[in-house]
A = this chain, B = another copy of it.
């Protein structure tokens, strides 16, 4: 059932990308732990150690998968971002964008829990949060999107400069927490309606209390 179980050429052509794709498939159902080197090479139709020509070790492959997954999260957020009507006042737009980030983030977590965990449970430093390989199709990383709408809120005077400072951490923590508890923690098993409700109220709380 595999597309091309054997290949004619000795060289693969684009093994790195193929392994990355396989890794993403593994992460999609199974999360970061499911990204196992040998299985990826198996799916690509190559010997296990071929992977080491393109990734230093399993961790490097997982890092690459994580970066792509963060880009996919960014894409999901951009979808919500684009829905925000632009024909209103600055403040309303900014608040809409903040809400869009939250909705998109949690939406991605709920729709793609495996990729979400691969994206945000693999330890990375904040210093790399802006690196282009973590960006979505629009060229912006999830963290950049959070920062951006906070800038908008500050520019519109919705939040004071004092409150805007490091506000990323607050906004991010809030939605990240709900996402994690729902897909991977004790809040799993809640009905979609209950999650929707929690999500709405959570975003209300951020909107009011940031």
Chain A residues touching B, majority SS: helix
Tell me the chain A residues, 171-209 only, with Cβ under 8 Å from chain B. Answer: 172-181, 184-190, 194, 197-198, 201-202, 204-206, 208-209
Question: How far is it, in angstroms, between the C-alpha of A63 and the C-alpha of B185 when the chains are bound?
Answer: 13
Within 8 Å of chain B (Cβ to Cβ): is A143? Answer: yes
Docked pose: A175 CA to B170 CA in angstroms: 10
- Copies of this chain, tallied across the complex: 2
Expressed in whole angstroms, the Cα–Cα distance for A129 and B143 within the complex equals 32
Whole-angstrom CA separation of A94 from B80 in the bound complex: 37
Among the stretches A48-56, A117-125, A148-156, the one at the interface with B is: A117-125
* 16 intermolecular pairs with C-beta atoms under 8 Å apart: A125-B186, A125-B188, A126-B186, A126-B189, A127-B189, A166-B194, A169-B194, A170-B205, A173-B174, A173-B181, A173-B187, A173-B198, A176-B181, A176-B185, A180-B180, A206-B209
Q: Apart from A125-B189, A173-B175, what are 4 other A-B pairs with CB-CB below 8 Å?
A: A120-B185, A169-B181, A176-B177, A177-B180
Residues in chain A within 8 A of chain B (CB atoms): 33, 120-121, 123-127, 129, 143, 163, 166, 169-170, 172-181, 184-190, 194, 197-198, 201-202, 204-206, 208-210
